[in-house]
């Protein structure tokens, strides 16, 4: 006889475990409302379970939040499409695509991280789950282009500049009356400035 399905999962057909359901529900709440006011009770209610059920599947709230944050980031990245392949198109257009991806990614995920700055245990656990980040992929792309002879200069510094632009743009936009995060003439200027620094001489 098959084990009974948890009540919260009886109307679902995706085969998720209750643990996966709880992570997915918490990720939904992070996407909709951020993390600052996210409570165990709110997650349990949205998941259709009693508060104590969460502790049958997670050591503590921090573990659940870290898993949910990782799921939120995975979902955002899945919706952003593919990054450029080294050696394809032009380096300039690829840098533009990389920066657009980074801005869109950070616009969606930084507010969630900002709500957890006072919970270093969650961020530390997330770091263990995160695996390869966009920053890692950007650095790998630039190194590969350098190996192909399409770039020169300090690609690690270029990586830091591009990631820093994403952080600064999104964090500024989070402030009251901050500018909206868009692909603007400033973004074009950043791409040209970075490219000038790592262009093949």
What is the pLDDT averaged over residues 129-143?
A: 94
Q: Give the pLDDT score at 5.
A: 45
* Average predicted confidence (pLDDT) for the chain: 86
Q: Which of 31, 23, 27, 33 is nearest to 54 (CA)?
A: 23
Q: What are phi and psi of 78, to 5 degrees?
A: -65, -30
Better pLDDT: 92 or 198: 92
In sequence order, what are the residues at sequence separation of 6 or more whose Cβ sits closer than 8 angstroms to the Cβ of residue 68?
23, 26, 27, 29, 30
Decide if pLDDT at 10 tops 60.
no
Better pLDDT: 193 or 86: 86
Give the Cα separation of 65 and 42 in Å (integer). 12
Decide if pLDDT at 181 tops 60.
no
Where would I find the H helices in 115-184? 120-129, 134-147, 155-174
Q: Which of 108, 97, 51 is nearest to 191 (CA)?
A: 97
Give the Cα separation of 56 and 17 in Å (integer). 13
In sequence order, what are the residues at sequence separation of 6 or more whose Cβ sits closer than 8 angstroms to the Cβ of residue 39?
none
Q: Which of 118, 164, 101 is nearest to 172 (CA)?
A: 164
Provide the token pair at 135.
């920053």
Q: Give the pLDDT score at 2.
A: 37
Question: Please, which pLDDT band fits residue 3 given cuts at 50, 70 and 90?
Answer: very low
Q: What is the pLDDT of residues 15-34, one digit of tens each?
A: 778 999 999 999 999 999 88
Question: Please, which pLDDT band fits residue 149 given cuts at 50, 70 and 90?
Answer: very high
Give the Cα separation of 68 and 24 in Å (integer). 7
Q: What is the pLDDT of residues 103-131, one digit of tens each?
A: 999 999 988 988 888 889 999 999 999 88
Give the Cα separation of 135 and 141 in Å (integer). 10
Q: Give the pLDDT score at 12.
A: 53
Of the chain, the percentage scoring pLDDT greater than 70 comes to 85
């Amino acid at each position: 006889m098959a084990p009974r399905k948890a009540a919260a999962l009886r109307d679902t057909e995706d085969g998720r475990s209750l643990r996966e359901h709880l992570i997915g529900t918490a990720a939904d709440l992070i996407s909709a409302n951020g993390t600052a006011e996210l409570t165990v009770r709110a997650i349990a209610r949205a998941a259709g379970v009693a508060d104590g059920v969460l502790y049958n599947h997670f050591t503590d709230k921090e573990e659940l939040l870290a898993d949910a944050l990782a799921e939120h980031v995975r979902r955002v990245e899945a919706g952003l499409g593919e990054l450029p392949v080294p050696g394809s198109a032009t380096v300039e257009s690829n840098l533009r695509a990389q920066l657009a991806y980074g801005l869109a990614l950070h616009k969606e995920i930084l507010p969630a991280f900002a709500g957890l700055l006072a919970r270093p245990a969650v961020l530390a656990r997330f770091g263990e789950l995160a695996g390869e980040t966009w920053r890692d992929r950007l650095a790998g792309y630039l190194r590969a282009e350098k190996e192909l002879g399409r770039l020169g200069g300090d690609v690690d510094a270029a990586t830091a500049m591009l990631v820093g632009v994403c952080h600064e743009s999104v964090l500024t936009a989070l402030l009251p009356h901050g500018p909206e995060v868009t692909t603007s003439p400033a973004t074009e200027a950043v791409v040209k400035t970075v490219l000038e620094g790592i262009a093949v001489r």
